Structure 1
Amino acid sequence: MWSDLLPFSFLRPWWLLALPPTLLLCGYLYRHMKKYSGWEALLPVNLRGALLQQQQGRRYAGRYLLLALCWTLALFALAGPAWESDEGVERSDQAALVLVLQVSRSMLSTDLTPNRLEQARHKVEDILRAFPERRIGLIAYAGSAHLVAPLTRDHATLKNLLGVLHPDIMPARGQQADQALVLAAQLLSSLPPDSAQVLLLTNGLSEAEQSVADNTAEQLGERLRVLGIGTADGAPVPLAEGGFMRDEQGRILLPQLDESVLSHFARRHGGEYARLSVDDSDIQYLLATASGSDELLQTEQRQWLDQGHWLLLLLVPIAALGARRGWLGLLLIALWLPPPVSAMSWQDLWQRPDQQGAELLQQGQPAAAASHFEDPQWRAWALLQAGDYAAASQAYGALADSEPENAEFHFAEGTALALKGDYPDALDAFEQTLIRAPEHTAARHNRQRVEAYLAELAEQEKEQDADSETATKEADNGSGATADQASEGDTGHDDESAANSEETPTSGDQTANGADSNAPQTSDSSSEATAGLNEQRASDELEDELPGTSTADSTGAPLPARGYNVEQQQALQQWLRDIPDNPAELLRRKFLYQHLQQPDGRPR
């Protein structure tokens, strides 16, 4: 009623019933104060007429008008005046749509350009654009039916999965539309019948499929919609290896669209049928009912925004005016007071720290975003994106400790540790991930790569140790020969002995210089072998074996071995990012696993 008479409404209108008694009370108090000044209770009755003088009550009228205004504003604020706002509309589209897409070999027929399956994908994308708030699920079927995505409003994920659907990823060939319809009915079993629909996108149904799916079609009733894909003439189905698909007699297969069969199957139990069109006329015809219910649900669940708190801004100065004199001067003095010291910025008044961090992350500033995030998961992700792998590994480690059964936290910790160069701990984190999620493909891939890398490093370390032993033996043999020559010179001539004694250190210096000339190469191979696992320890051992070598030159700059470690880290980061993320392979493995788990042909 309020919304029809006024541009706003009251959320708690019963408070307005207190308005008449409040105004009557203010009038009574004013009349009482005007008639009685308060001295009547102190003076004797016989002296009141002589000592008291009746005056006009104008000086009190303003006070009681302010009191009445304060009470009126307070009651209006308690009543909750509210306005409708476009931003306050609650988009509670409870309607649901299950798309059942045929992904058999016959959908590769080229009677539609480029083929039937591609045209069906485009039509599904049109549906997603037409109903952005609709909960939509996707089922794919060929020789078996599989749930690609449950009912969701995440249409971006649906489009991502839709683009990889192909007959090659289906575990069994054939057409089992009955299984797909049973699976769709299971998805809609908990929803009201008038808020859900099933759209079957197919190029035909065999007699066996119709007989088996007839019970499910009867259960769905008018919720079933069928969209025919293809033409009545049909076209051959090309094969990847060349040629065309053939039937059992060896003839080229021409899958044709039989609209009469599909129309009869849909309308037999109250459903509708339409043929695929270039425009959206088929969508409007088949899904018009759900669109109307969508608008109805949004209209019924519009939210009213309570704006009563704004009346308090008017109530405060009026209350101060009626409370004591001089309030305006105090307000002016308060405006000149310096603001309190605070670390808040202007942005803090409008956005939470997590919102500021998310905005910085979108702007490509992960380091700054990490300093703003309060949410530990977002902060750990920002640190990983910023390249601070040590802090990221600690953050994900804390998350894994708080939620030990969360496999994703262990996986993220392992990835950060691997990028940091802490490979043994990274292997432990990947192992913890696989213990909790054995099907985690990315964790298994990363663990195998790290293990292969460590095995390669161990092999290189063995080769380096063998080279060191060979160099040591050669050095020992050379020093022994020098000692023999020196002893022969001593037995022969003293002068020559002195000369030989002066030449011997020179030979030793040459040997040391030769070792120094090979030192950068040895350091290179050592740093390549360790790759950050025990780099400092290996450098100390090299310094003990070759006193003439150093890990830095005279200017303090590191040797090439240090720079080579950076290259190793970059290479490691590159192949860690090379994680298989192909949705087609994921769906293929998922469908195959489901098919092997239930080989009896039941829907899954």
Structure 2
Amino acid sequence: MHLAHPLWLVALLPLLLLIAAAPILARARGRRWSAFVADRLRRGLILSGSALPRRFALGFLVAACVLLVFALTRPYTESGVSTERTVARNVLVALDLSRSMRTADVKPDRLGQAKVLVHELTEAMPQERFGLIGFAGSAYVYAPLTIDHRAVLETTDQIDETWTSIGGSNIADALKLGISTLRKTGQRNNVLVLISDGEDHNGRTRAMIEEAKAAGVFILAVGVGTENGDYVPNPDFRNRNAPRGRMVDKNGLPVISRLKTEVLRDLADGTGGRFAILGAGTDIPAMVRTAVADMDAFEIEGPQRKEVAEHYQWLVLPAIVMLAAAAIASTRWRAVRHAAAAACAVCVLIPTECPADPVTDAWNALRSGRLKEAAEGYGRLAERSLPGADPESFRLGQGVAAYRSGDFKSARSAFSGAVLSNDPAIAAQGHAGMGNTAFQLGWNALAGRSYPKGPTTPTLEEFNDIIAKLFEEAKEALKRRDADDGADQRKRDVLEILRGTATDWADAVRHYDSSLALKRDDDVALHNRALAMTYLKRLLELLDQEEQALTMAMAMGTPQAGAGGKEGDQEGDDDGEGSSGKRKKKGKGGDEKDRKGSGDRPKPEETDEPSGARPGESKEDRARRLLQENADRETGPPPQAADPSTQGGQRSSGQVEQVDPEKDW
């Protein structure tokens, strides 16, 4: 016998004091009566009963308190040790942590979407063993293979590009480490999920295919990003070529990262795995679950647990009986008769309200239009474990209430719980709700309002006008020559809105398909799928057309450094300009070497008169200005030699970061 909380035994000391003080208090009470009434008159004037019931009541009370104190110590006995066993398969995730994974061509960025996918994979396969490898220029196992998914997810949530010691993107090292880790498990068939943007700076990746096949490792490659790409961010650095904190190459030019699928496809095809692009409408968790289900499962030993038998309940029941006996023994029954009769009359005459069923309350709130109250009610019901109730059905009600109130983000979260139901009807409605929510989110991003209902449904012409209005705003921004960076940002914002909408609508179509697979006769889901597909196709067509036109307008409307133009129109502030507005014409728009990023700037023609002078500017002021504008620290990459100003991790303003290896993104 063991006690889990033996300190509770200290509470027995007050009970011992109570037992010792009881007779002393009784004698003191008798002496108080002797001071008022003579002993010979006491029996005639004072009505007193037997002291035996009071003594029994005190004994029962003390015994009940002793039993409760021992129950609080939680006595238990150990009956042995048990080992949990489970049937599982090995799924190792290799997550790209290079700087290019911070590119924001998908929302919030590539690494953020990859982390969401890891969460979805663990939710879709709760019985499998998961592990996590992070790689950039080198690879490391950050979470070994385990059935403790919470530990893997905690590591996933915290990990980022700063966890790697070497920059770059070495997929080959990640594959080598992953194959080695899976081979050590002793299992023949394993899955390696590679999540990357396809940037491969090593070139040895394809050579790992044969090694993976020999080890029985199936590579499921998942591409993150878009083919158009975006600038690689670097918030620690800014210069003239990268004013928004972008990563630059050795020539000082901003780096644009694009999704490269060739290497990822080759890895998947070569090992018998599969390839998919995240956000392109493919149900990647289902794809991985199907691939894992085809492999042979094995039995693994889980953690060991001590078998403990609790005995506190055997003390609580007698203590309750003792307390009841003490109450009965100390009761004066003559006075109780009248009080009991009055209490019964009050209970009969006062009307009482039966508490309402919380499920009924939530349903009534939804039906009467109190949508916020209904969503909160269904949310509380889903979090509670009601016997015989399906929590996913409450999530469905919560999603419907949030959707009707226009809170589409909360609706998406609720519907995502409903799709996990084992009931096909509830799962089908959950997928249909997810499709409706994804479509509304995309439409809201475009038009700034929800998709209208009834006779006000917009036509394709009105949809074209909405898209055209967005591009007109971007083109108007390009016409303003006072803020080129703002115009470029507006162009990217418009393209991101359209790409995000296309992703949402592709997800909507996917969820409609899942709903129809569970419930084939759902005419509403079929109609909504056709509507979403119509808008999606039209959006992709307009996106291709307008993106080309907008890119051309960007090239024509924004003057670049060293670009050709009319003679004498512009001041000689930028590289490659002549003394009086005339430029040396070596190719289009300046020196060919300068456009290739060599860092050599064309020298201005020397004349006797100062050129490009500003009104009211003296020769000395103009010379000082030109020296400042054409200094190496402001317009070009610094020399390769070490600069004392960069010691200790500090860089002067406008200085280009020198990285090692050559490609650190």
Normalised by the length of structure 2, the TM-score is: 0.30
Q: Could you say which structure has the larger radius of gyration?
A: 1
Normalised by the length of structure 1, the TM-score is: 0.33
More helix by share: 1
